[in-house]
Amino acid sequence: MPLRAEINPSVLPSSFGIDAGMDSRLSREEQAFLHEKGKISMCVDPNWMPLEMIDRGKHIGIAADYMTLLSTYLGVPIALVPTRDWTQSLEFAKHRQCDILSLVMPTPERLEYMAFSRPYLSLPLVLATHYREPFVADITLITDKKLAVVKGYAFGEILRKKYPELHFTDVDSELDGLNRVEQGEFYGFIGSLTTVGYALQNSYPELKIAGKFDERWELGVGVRNDQPLLLAAFEKAIASVGKRQTQDILNRWISVKYEKAVDLDSLWQGLLIFGLLLLFLLYRQRMLKQHNKELLNLTRTDALTGIASRHYLDLELDRLVFHYQRYTEIFSIMAMDLDNFKEVNDRFGHPAGDRVLIEFVSLVKQHLRKTDLFGRWGGEEFLVICPHTSLDQVEMLAERIRNAIAQHRFEVTGSQTVSIGIATCEQLEMSPARLVSNADKALYAAKAAGRNRVAR
């Protein structure tokens, strides 16, 4: 899915200019309410371009253009109430110092004093970092990094609940957050694609968009919840905005405009610049794919042995257990532990111990099937996942591996043995953790029985 700002499909009008099945006309009660009210007071985010800002006392940006259209439909002026920052705008709305917030997302706390229209903008959430940082394929992996979010923004609260393992810090504004990322105080800043992209293009050549979240920012009009007629009027006003009008608003603020060439020299210069830009974009795309591939390999592969990592084994176990619960396709696992390996490290040193692990992995791989997944669980412990394999079948495979290791002469240690515990997923209530625990218990039983053996 491309990263772009979108008009929410659920609010786009039909070809007649309104939602199908909805009467776009204001009721007499709504008209009388607006006439008596006279004007609608509005608070905004004073520094959130290109969505909106207060510039020399005037509301500008995408939201400002929408408010102009909505004011025309409602037949009453929408008057700006100036504030110094978003936090103060929220406080003004809470204490009824303004009737609406022009562009806002609902949260449980805000529902105590506001009602919310359907969203009219849908924006992806992205991560901005220094250009030297690698691209982030999985946001959940950056648990050791400091991430900046703007204080009071709804998605900050949402992300903290969904990703409790990540480290979020509040900043005063988007520009404050991006400045502190550029200075190295934070690893990254989280914001909308529209606003972050706008800021990076105009002011931050050292920063880039390095990743995205699954969540989107669904933004509509926030209305004081003690005036339901005002909310109903805004719902109809939003539905009245046509597709062409909405696209014109977006184009005005976030589209690239080209000027027609006035002569051949300008034309050739433009073509040359375009060609260089195209080459640069192709190069960046290639580098992006390469960075993503490298990052994916880092998360999937054990650095020493080249086999699957603990993280990738966990993902496959989750997938296969879910698959079993849905289709009852059994699979089995082997938990392996090199016997007395601590003595190898103590006697020969850790570099020599690493060579034993590499030689062990190479030998085991010779006896596995193409469908088996072999990975390093940690230290001298390994795990093999065997799809479509019963307990009896995996026991035969484990015995062949155990025998091969026992008969092999290792370069460093000479003889070396392995103990193996096996388990199978054949119960609907089985979980990945319980399956691994069963294999571990069998492994301990093999150790207790004298090592160099397979136990179930």
What is the pLDDT of the chain when averaged over all its residues?
85
Q: Which two tokens stand for residue 85?
A: 């920052």
Task: Say which residue, 253 or 299, is predicted with more confidence.
Answer: 253
Give the confidence band of 293 by pLDDT, cuts at 50, 70, 90.
low
Q: Beta strand pairing status for 47-48 and 52-55?
A: antiparallel
Tokens representing residue 232 in the block: 């109903």
* CA 36, chain centre distance (Å): 47
The pLDDT value recorded for residue 267 is 57
Total Cβ atoms within 10 A of residue 108: 8
Select from 3.90.25.10, 3.90.79.10, 3.20.130.10, 3.40.190.10 the CATH code of 9-121+218-254. Answer: 3.40.190.10
Where does the pLDDT of residue 13 fall: very low under 50, low under 70, confident under 90, or very high at 90 and above?
very low
Query: Quick one: how far is CA 146 from the chain centroid?
Result: 16
Give per-residue pLDDT as tens, 89-103.
Answer: 999 999 999 999 999
pLDDT, tens digit, 9 for 90 and up, residues 241-285? 888 888 888 888 874 333 333 445 555 666 777 777 777 777 767
Could you read off the pLDDT of 15-73 as tens digits, one per residue? 223 343 344 689 999 999 999 999 999 999 998 888 999 999 999 999 999 999 999 99
> What tokens does 87 get?
């936090």
Residue for token pair 């995408």: 62
Contact between 421 and 455 under an 8 Å Cβ cutoff? The reply is yes
Give the strand pairing for 52-55 and 58-60: antiparallel
For residue 428, pLDDT beyond 90: no
Residue intervals of the chain classified under CATH 3.40.190.10 are 9-121+218-254, 123-216
Taking domain 310-455, whether its CATH number is 3.20.20.80 is answered by no
Compute φ and ψ for 330, nearest 5 degrees: -70, 155
Mean pLDDT of 436-444: 95
Length reported for the chain: 456
Percent of the chain with pLDDT over 70: 87
Assessment of whether the complete model's pTM goes beyond 0.75: no
Q: How many C-beta atoms lie closer than 10 Å to residue 398's C-beta?
A: 27
Antiparallel, parallel or unpaired: β 146-150 and 167-171: parallel
- At the topology level, CATH places domain 123-216 in D-Maltodextrin-Binding Protein; domain 2 (3.40.190)
Q: Which amino acid is at 52?
A: E
- Specify the pLDDT at position 152: 83
CATH 3.30.70.270 residue ranges in the chain?
Answer: 310-455
Q: For residue 145, give every residue at least 6 positions away whose Cβ sits within 8 Å of its Cβ, in sequence order, or none.
A: 166, 167, 187, 188
